[in-house]
Amino acid sequence: MTSSSSTSSRAAPESPWIQRLSEFLEGLGFVISKADTSLFILLSGALTFYILVYVDDLIVTCSDKNKLQWFLNKIKDMFPFRDLGSLHYFLGIKVKKIDDDLLLTQSKYATDLLKETKMQHSKPCVTPMAASPPLSKTQGTPLPNLEQLANCGSFTIHDFDSS
């Protein structure tokens, strides 16, 4: 059984709450992910527990509903927070619980991006790029300047000159 919850902490911006949170979680046995320092992981036997920190929000998921409730009760003793309930959207990603799993999709994000670029009525294709020939960094004509790519949908590419 996978249970998940999102919470919102309202600590003052100048408070060192992230450091306190890290110490609190590490004291409970969580370790910081080597791939993402905002992800805390606790694996113990059949128990799988993940906490993702994003600004002042926490996304909490646990394989044991009772342990999740225990954690939520424990953390509210240390930090003022609101339990926002089950997670539905996060950074444009839709989260849907199906049986014991979580399905993550970006269909709303993709639809919004198509609308923003006035491409919602475009003909769909299997892949937006030619599958062959493969891209090569040694063949073809390079762009004379990256600003030609400056605005691609809702993405902005920034080129910082380090010289």
pLDDT number for residue 58: 86
- 70 belongs to a structural domain: yes
Classify residue 120: in a domain, yes or no: no
SS3 at position 104:
strand
Q: Is residue 126 part of a domain?
A: no
- Within-domain flag for 72: yes
Does 110 reside within a domain?
A: no
Provide the number of structural domains found in the chain.
1
Q: Residue 18 maps to which CATH number? A: 3.30.310
At 84, the pLDDT band (50, 70, 90 cuts) reads: confident
Show the domain range for 56.
3-105
Contacts of 41 (CB under 8 A, 6+ apart): 30, 31, 32, 33, 49, 50, 51
Mean pLDDT of 34-53: 91
Residue at 21 is within a domain: yes
